[in-house]
Chain A
Amino acid sequence: MKKRRAPKVLSSAYLIIVLLFIYLPIGYLVLFSFNEGKSMTNFSGFSLKWYESMFSNRMMIESIRTTLIVAVVATAVSTVVGTVAAIGLSKAKRIVRSIILEVNNLPVMNPDIVTAIGLMLLFISVKFQLGMLSLILSHISFCTPYVILSVMPKLRQLDDNVAEAALDLGATPFKALTKVIIPQIYPAILSGALIAFSMSLDDFVVSYFNTGAGINTISMYVYSMKRYNLSVNAMSTLIVVVVTLILILANLIPWIKDKKTQKEET
């Protein structure tokens, strides 16, 4: 018995260390967003002034808005495009599928800077004015491969007969897609969309090269700051809170639904 216990202590210590490593920086950042002074190392008292200064800073608010618009639009488009592409590929010939999947891996493996400059040169060479639209298009282009990567394995697990049965029973192809195939791969689509969303939020390099005058994302705004100011902490804290809430909801909703259906069944 004793021999078994020692590794258990070790493994939980390991787990705690890893969790601390991940969450301490976030906790530190959140704590200092409430600092009364300017310092990043001395906590001199509680105040909400950095939140106030964040909301009164138009550039910062605009950059948050741009980031969100770009992330939401890019996620929506790349999720639809990626899912449809994946479903199409799953029905394609083996050779076509493997070639296209390899090609799909390229942008994922490629360093961001190469993607960024490539896109920028493309936009310039076709005389496409850099701005909001080029920013969104470039985000769609690097988010889509992640959606395909996430949806593809789930499609392989599907039983083809189910979709065929739906068609036999009189469903139109479109109905079979929306009522039979998509509900089965829904979790994979959702996780693909989440990856796309976080890639888009995270991005600095691609945005930097493909944006136009006056359109800045959060990362570009923070990067060009010369003197650090704690309203960045305030902004990050808000993002952490929002993301945590979304994650809690995303986990709670299916759980509540399950409970409901269980109740109805009994």
Chain B
Amino acid sequence: MTKKLIASLLLICLALLPVCSLAAETLNIMNYGDYIDDQIIYDFEKEFGVRINYSTNDTPESMYTKLQTGVSYDVVVTSDYMIDRLIRENRIMKLDKSIVTNLDQLSDQVKNLYFDPDNDYSVPYFWQNVVLCYDTTKIDPEKVEEKGWSILHDPELEGHVFLYDSPRDIFMMALKALGYSMNTESRDELTQAYDWLVKMNQTIHPSFVSDEMIDGMAQGEKWMAMMYSGDATYASMENEKLTVWAPLDGTNIAYDNMFIPANAANPEMANRFINYVLDYPNSKRNTVLTCYTSPNAKVIEDLTAPGGEFEGIESYLPRSGYDKDEIYTDNELLRTETPELLVKVKLQ
């Protein structure tokens, strides 16, 4: 009996193992979860004869931890302020622009960002901004547009709001509502933002959640949510009552870029993959499936034009060129203080 059991267990292992070890050339990619059309991976594998090991993470911080463990990735997608930090820490390899030739397809709105002025180190993958996504049958659009972020101080919304449980984003909202920069270095402004948030929490008792708000809004659980525009696009395509508004107080424009870590094992193939993803047909199917905004100028133009997949979906194209909108910087004060302050806000 025991022998048979052990023998059968060994057989199962043997049957499962070979698939893991047989591979010629491999490419290790790390991205956010649900952030790609899987078909792109399979097609790239076929075309270039490599095997892609694909991993996912949920925040730039957990990606950073993974990089620090010394695991070698070839292509990583992460957010602007984290790339800023990684470039300064010399953890990023320069792109090989003789391979990445599709840079010229990029929209001007996403090129040459502050942390990487000539796109020497990173290339935009998706971009979005933080918006208020709300149910027009429950809240009057005029009121939202007039009040901006301060609508979250309106007692009528009590119990009907989702907020994204991310310290930087929550404090961005408060700082913008008060007219400050979301990358402030001033403790005084931070304290005022804290007070603003305490008052908000006591007035509307929002639910601090994470990605479950996307399905929650799509299914009409709450009236309003502070969301990333790509998620809002998805939710508003599922639920027609939803619309979005980027408050005139200003908001965060977020760029998620691809880069090649300094310890990449296969940089040449990594450059090819980056170039492949930027190309019009691939960028198009990627954005259509995920609803996040493509950095490819022609893709944006075609999809928002009459007859395009995202025609009339306001959240698809993030506002750009508005001087109150900013991009996150790797700011030490905010990085270290906001998580603790947010916990305190929730306790009030």
Residue B347 at the chain A interface, CB threshold 8 Å = no
Residue B24 at the chain A interface, CB threshold 8 Å = no
* Listed stretches B195-203, B210-218, B293-301; interface member: B210-218
- Tell me the bound Cα distance from A73 to B17 in angstroms: 11
Output the least CB separation between A57 and chain B (Å): 7
Q: Do A69 and B32 touch (CB < 8 A)?
A: no
Interface residues of B in 43-67 (CB under 8 A from A): 52-58, 65
Output the least CB separation between A222 and chain B (Å): 9
Query: Which residue from A39, A69, A213 sits with its C-beta under 8 Å from B55?
Result: A213
Can you list, as one digit per residue, whether each of A190-231 has a CB less than 8 Å from chain B (1) or not (0)? 000000000000000000010011111000110111111000
Additional pairs, 14, CB under 8 Å, beyond known A76-B10, A209-B65: A39-B219, A57-B38, A59-B54, A69-B16, A72-B13, A76-B13, A186-B2, A213-B30, A213-B55, A215-B53, A216-B55, A223-B33, A224-B32, A225-B33
7 examples of A-B residue contacts, CB within 8 angstroms: A41-B219, A76-B6, A76-B9, A182-B2, A213-B73, A220-B56, A224-B58
On chain A, the residues within 8 Å of B215 by CB distance are: 40, 227-228
- Tell me the bound Cα distance from A213 to B54 in angstroms: 7
On chain B, the residues within 8 Å of A188 by CB distance are: none
Residue A124 at the chain B interface, CB threshold 8 Å = yes
Residue A155 at the chain B interface, CB threshold 8 Å = no
Output the least CB separation between A178 and chain B (Å): 8
On chain B, the residues within 8 Å of A38 by CB distance are: 238
Do A65 and B16 form a contact, CB below 8 Å, given A58-B42, A213-B71? yes
Residue A68 at the chain B interface, CB threshold 8 Å = yes
| Chain A interface residues toward B at CB < 8 A | 38-41, 57-59, 65, 68-69, 72-73, 76, 120, 123-124, 127, 129-132, 182, 186, 209, 212-216, 220-221, 223-228
Do A214 and B214 form a contact, CB below 8 Å, given A39-B219, A130-B69, A226-B32? no
Minimum CB distance partner of B41 in chain A: A58
Q: Do B13 and A223 touch (CB < 8 A)?
A: no
Among B19, B71, B214, B238, chain A packs the most CB atoms within 10 A around the CB of: B71
- Tell me the bound Cα distance from A248 to B54 in angstroms: 37
Can you list, as one digit per residue, whether each of B57-90 has a CB less than 8 Å from chain A (1) or not (0)? 1100000010001111100000000000000000
Do A69 and B33 form a contact, CB below 8 Å, given A58-B38, A124-B70, A216-B55? no
Q: Do B71 and A212 touch (CB < 8 A)?
A: yes
Minimum CB distance partner of B265 in chain A: A213
On chain B, the residues within 8 Å of A40 by CB distance are: 215, 219
- Tell me the bound Cα distance from A132 to B70 in angstroms: 15
Among A69, A132, A215, chain B packs the most CB atoms within 10 A around the CB of: A69
Q: Do A226 and B13 touch (CB < 8 A)?
A: no
Output the least CB separation between B7 and chain A (Å): 11
Q: Do A225 and B72 touch (CB < 8 A)?
A: no
- What's the count of A-B pairs with C-beta under 8 Å? 89
Q: Do A213 and B214 touch (CB < 8 A)?
A: no
- Tell me the bound Cα distance from A39 to B69 in angstroms: 38
Do A223 and B58 form a contact, CB below 8 Å, given A72-B9, A213-B53? yes
Q: Do B234 and A227 touch (CB < 8 A)?
A: yes
Among B13, B29, B56, B212, chain A packs the most CB atoms within 10 A around the CB of: B56
Output the least CB separation between A197 and chain B (Å): 11
Residue B231 at the chain A interface, CB threshold 8 Å = yes
On chain B, the residues within 8 Å of A220 by CB distance are: 56
Q: Do B53 and A214 touch (CB < 8 A)?
A: yes
Residue B12 at the chain A interface, CB threshold 8 Å = yes
Residue B28 at the chain A interface, CB threshold 8 Å = yes
Q: Do A227 and B2 touch (CB < 8 A)?
A: no
Do A213 and B56 form a contact, CB below 8 Å, given A58-B38, A186-B2, A228-B212? no
On chain A, the residues within 8 Å of B9 by CB distance are: 72, 76
Output the least CB separation between B267 and chain A (Å): 15
Do A130 and B70 form a contact, CB below 8 Å, given A40-B215, A213-B30? yes
Output the least CB separation between A54 and chain B (Å): 13
Q: Do B54 and A214 touch (CB < 8 A)?
A: yes
On chain B, the residues within 8 Å of A69 by CB distance are: 13, 16-17, 20
- Tell me the bound Cα distance from A212 to B16 in angstroms: 18
Query: Which residue from B12, B56, B231 sits with its C-beta under 8 Å from A221?
Result: B56
Residue B185 at the chain A interface, CB threshold 8 Å = no
Residue B309 at the chain A interface, CB threshold 8 Å = no
Q: Do B238 and A214 touch (CB < 8 A)?
A: no
Minimum CB distance partner of A213 in chain B: B28
On chain B, the residues within 8 Å of A186 by CB distance are: 2
On chain A, the residues within 8 Å of B54 by CB distance are: 59, 214
Do A226 and B211 form a contact, CB below 8 Å, given A120-B69, A130-B71, A213-B28? yes
- Tell me the bound Cα distance from A235 to B13 in angstroms: 21
Residue B34 at the chain A interface, CB threshold 8 Å = yes
- Tell me the bound Cα distance from A127 to B69 in angstroms: 10
Query: Which residue from A68, A127, A216, A226 sits with its C-beta under 8 Å from B16?
Result: A68
On chain A, the residues within 8 Å of B42 by CB distance are: 58
- Tell me the bound Cα distance from A59 to B73 in angstroms: 17
Minimum CB distance partner of A214 in chain B: B53
Q: Do B71 and A224 touch (CB < 8 A)?
A: no
Output the least CB separation between B19 and chain A (Å): 7
Minimum CB distance partner of A40 in chain B: B215
- Tell me the bound Cα distance from A74 to B70 in angstroms: 24
Residue B35 at the chain A interface, CB threshold 8 Å = yes
Output the least CB separation between B138 and chain A (Å): 19
On chain A, the residues within 8 Å of B30 by CB distance are: 213
